[in-house]
Structure 1
Amino acid sequence: MTTEPALTGAAAEFEPLRPKLMRVAYRMLGSVADAEDVVQEAFIRWMRTERAEVRQPEAFLRRTVTRLCLDQLKSARHQRETYVGPWLPEPLVEEDEAEDVTLPLMLVLERLSPLERAAFLLHDVFGLQFEEVAVEIERDPAACRQLAARAREHVREARPRFKVERERGLEIAEAFFNASRSGDMKALGAMLSADVTAHADGGGKRPAATEPALGFEAVMTQYATVASWLKDNPSTLIRYGFINGLPGFVTLEVDGELQTTALDIEDGNITAIYVMRNPDKLRHLH
């Protein structure tokens, strides 16, 4: 039976690493709740491990988390295929644009195989050498290089070419909130690029468009309908901030649920709007 001092020692070693492990798990899975479950499972396995034989606890735990995520991604693919409407990752809201993996990039990662996703994140985002990546995902270094290279091809277009400055991004988010809520369609239209898209994730739990709106006219039509609805059902601004690295805002809607809106901005114009309405993906924000 595990003794109390041993449990205390296990927790003392594990807890400082928990934030790093959460970053790996969240970027692999796109779900805060699933990432927390994976990290907790890693902690349980850590408690059962002969820790005196582990020379590098961080590498051991990261490897454990990565492999648990790979297992989870295999079953998650079926869940994505049967998901109602557009799928978006759970929103992380921060004061600053601290996300190294932005929301558009996470959507691209969804289209990769689990191994491509792991190789790219571990090498390109977390800075591991391919020899280390090989140990993590149980492939040889040459295969890991190929996996990361294939992932990079898909990812390249999702990388922002001209990153919006923090203050300017928040100014555009505020202007978008005011225009969309007041029904000022002229002001709203002036912010949008010609090829703007709008994506809303309701997960079948709350009303949301089941297909993305593609192009200026489609987005303007959608937001004219939204503005008409909001006249009698106003939402309350909670805060502005960065949602998965993109400027945006959190609101409390008339149904008592939260909502996040994130804006992808390029050359001063909004190129994509991402709205999270699925209450299951917003619980952690409460």
Structure 2
Amino acid sequence: AGIYVRSDGSYGTKMYFSTTDAYVSGSKTAMSIDHRGMVGIGTISPKSKLQIAGGSNNWNESTPGTSVGSIHLDPENSSNHFGSAITFGASDTSNGETAQAGIYVRSDGSYGTKMYFSTTDAYVSGSKTAMSIDHKGKVGIGTNNTGSHKLAVEGSIGAREIKVEATTWSDFVFETDYNLPTLAEVENHIKEKGHLKDIPNAKEVAKNGIYLGAMDAKLLQKIEELTLYTIQQEKEIKRQALEIEELKSLSSRLSEIEKLIEAKK
């Protein structure tokens, strides 16, 4: 093994750290540092400040943690809530190197780990957690308290499209044996409860929120019921229109009869 220094051909020097494989004659470079301060591990031609050549093991997608990666930070401490971190500095022309962000990993006290992604607010000293992932795969954005949710977001979400997979839908309303409430029954329920049947009231929503899949199905049920009411009303309107035409015809005939009677007097 050895440390070798040589000219790199551009008026600078390059340092090589070499080791020897078992049963191999002669050492080979394990790490190098060029005149720009660029470090290569497993390569003598680093393209960044630190480049590591050679990946980790062919790890399993579901349980990759059975092997360590190309870079592994270990606290070497058996106490709870200890961990490791990678931090990044940033600067601006007004305040210099003041901002910081980082990825922090620590024990969660239950034989698992939790990862925190932190950033720094403007004019605030020290970064704070922006997103976290716990040992159950629960993700918190803007909050560390995910509750029973796989993804908890403190704040709004902007998206071009959201897909909700539902196992039930409300087409049962169109089945022949569906018991469609009368409009009088709907009116009585609204007067008594202050909301539609099977739809949570404002207090329940404020306290518990709503589940989009279930609520969409309930709203569709009400839309389909409204469609049936509209169809019923259209049939009734047509029936009444026919009766009106018949009454008009009867009235016209009565008028003709009255005229004939008057003419014979």
TM-score (norm 1): 0.17
Greater relative CO (CA pairs within 8 A, separation 6+): 1
More strand by share: 2
TM-score (norm 2): 0.18
More helix by share: 1
